[in-house]
Each structure stands twice: as structure tokens, then as C-alpha cells.
Structure 1
């Protein structure tokens, strides 16, 4: 797999869990995802209702929700504070089924958000998530 494909896979993954069955992630990743969720809801104050709305494509304009998504990217160590994607971290956590299918346009979601006029990383990640949802709402996943 080349270096361009893996960041695309990360983008698909790092919204994780709306339409994939949790068993597809395996026990270890499911446990980690639950921990990340708990950490990020505690830190940001995002509620499960907010998260459910975004999972279903209703991207509410709420700073807590935006910070929650950024927190997931950071706590999972998939992205650093500059939104640089860690390819090795992706290889370790990506469900096997997502390693096989990658929309080519997913990379553009991150590049466009990084290069946007948005100042805050949480706003940039939120734009990435919206873009990923719009690429394929049926494959959109999120913890």
C-alpha cells in the first residue's frame, strides 16, 4: 500500500463506527474506541446526542462537537497537532475491511481543510468529517 492510500484510509476510519458493526473492529480496537470516546466526551463536553446527530449526517454547529472530533484524531494518535497523519498508527487500528476500499477523493478532504482559511484545528477536522460524509454517507463511520 502506498503512502497516499494510507492517509485516505485514516480519514475514512477516523470518524469511526456509525455504519460498521463494532465486531468488525475487533475486541482490542473496540475497547480503545470506547476509551477514546469516554476521554473525548469528558474533555469536550460533547454529548452522545450530539455524536448521534453527526453520525447520521446532521453536522451541528457546536464547538463541543468539533472539539470532540479533533480529540478523537489526537487521542488515537492518528494525527498530530498539525494534522499530519501517522501512517503507522493507521496500520495498527484500521479494520481489515477498510484497508481494501478507499475513495480517492478522501485525501482531498484533509488537504483542503488544512489549506483553508479556518484558524482552529477543530474547525478543520470538522470540515474533513463533513467532506468524508458527503463522499459516501453509507460508508461514513464515527466513534
Structure 2
């Protein structure tokens, strides 16, 4: 998150608040996920799917668009963030929330120092 400017952080905070409201997830589960502790929780999965879908990086069926994710990264995050995201091509699941959770786990495992949840 340190790599983002104030406008980007503000946009992500609005997105965060919207998806927390939509999913009903507990903030503590999001905080834990940011540290690599992914709780098997339907509301957390729904939150993660909401974020990706609001960004246009996942369709309603749960098909991710990793190229879109990479293209949204600020210039200074393109190389390292692009590698992290790109290493997770092929992640799939039965629905959007499941895919979103698997992607977040994959991103974390690919680069735990760089990974963040907002």
C-alpha cells in the first residue's frame, strides 16, 4: 500500500467500505488475510470477489482478468506486482468468491512481502 498515492488510497478505501458493506465481512478477517492468514469464511470470500469485480478484474461468473489487474497497477508497481499476479494464471474455482480467495492466497504465496489487501 505504501506504493500508492493519496488518490489511489482514497479510491481503494471507498471500494473497501463498499465491499465490506456488501459482504458483511469482519474487518479482522481482512487484516489477517493481509498477513497471510486466510480464514475459510464465505463473507471474506465474497468481499474479495466484490473487490475484483468492482475493479473490473473479474466477471460475475468468477473468471479473473489478470491482465486488467496488472494494467491497473501504478507504474512503480508494474514489474514486481505484475510478476506476482502473472504467477497466478490458471487459478480457477466453482464461483467468484472461491476464485477470489484462491487468487489472494496465490498472490500472497508468490510474494508475501509485496502482497496487500485493502
* Alignment TM class, shorter chain as reference: 0.7 to 0.9
Unaligned runs of 5+ in 1: 1-19
Q: Is the 8 A contact 1:57 1:133 kept in 2?
A: yes
Relative distance call for 1:60 and 1:29 in structure 2 (3 A) is: same
How far has the Cα of 1:89 moved from its partner? 7.0
For normalisation by structure 2, the TM-score amounts to: 0.84
Structure 1 residue 50 and structure 2 residue 29: aligned? yes
CA deviations on 1:93-117 (whole Å, 9 max, x unpaired) are: 41222113232x7435241x22xxx
In structure 2, how many angstroms separate the alpha carbons of the residues matched to 1:55 and 1:120? 22
Unaligned runs of 5+ in 2: none
- Alignment of structure 1 residues 116-127 onto 2, 5 Å: 118-127=93-102
Structure 1 residue 131 and structure 2 residue 106: aligned? yes
- In the TM superposition, structure 1's runs of 4+ consecutive aligned residues that sit over 4 Å from their partners are 86-90
Query: Which structure's relative contact order is higher, taking Cα pairs within 8 Å and 6+ residues apart?
Result: 1
Q: Is the 8 A contact 1:77 1:86 kept in 2?
A: no
**Matched residue, 1:95:** 74
**Matched residue, 2:10:** 31
For normalisation by structure 1, the TM-score amounts to: 0.71
In structure 1, how many angstroms separate the alpha carbons of the residues matched to 2:70 and 2:114? 17
**Matched residue, 1:85:** 65
Number of paired residues?
116
Structure label with greater radius of gyration: 1
The CA RMSD measured in Å over matched residues stands at: 2.1
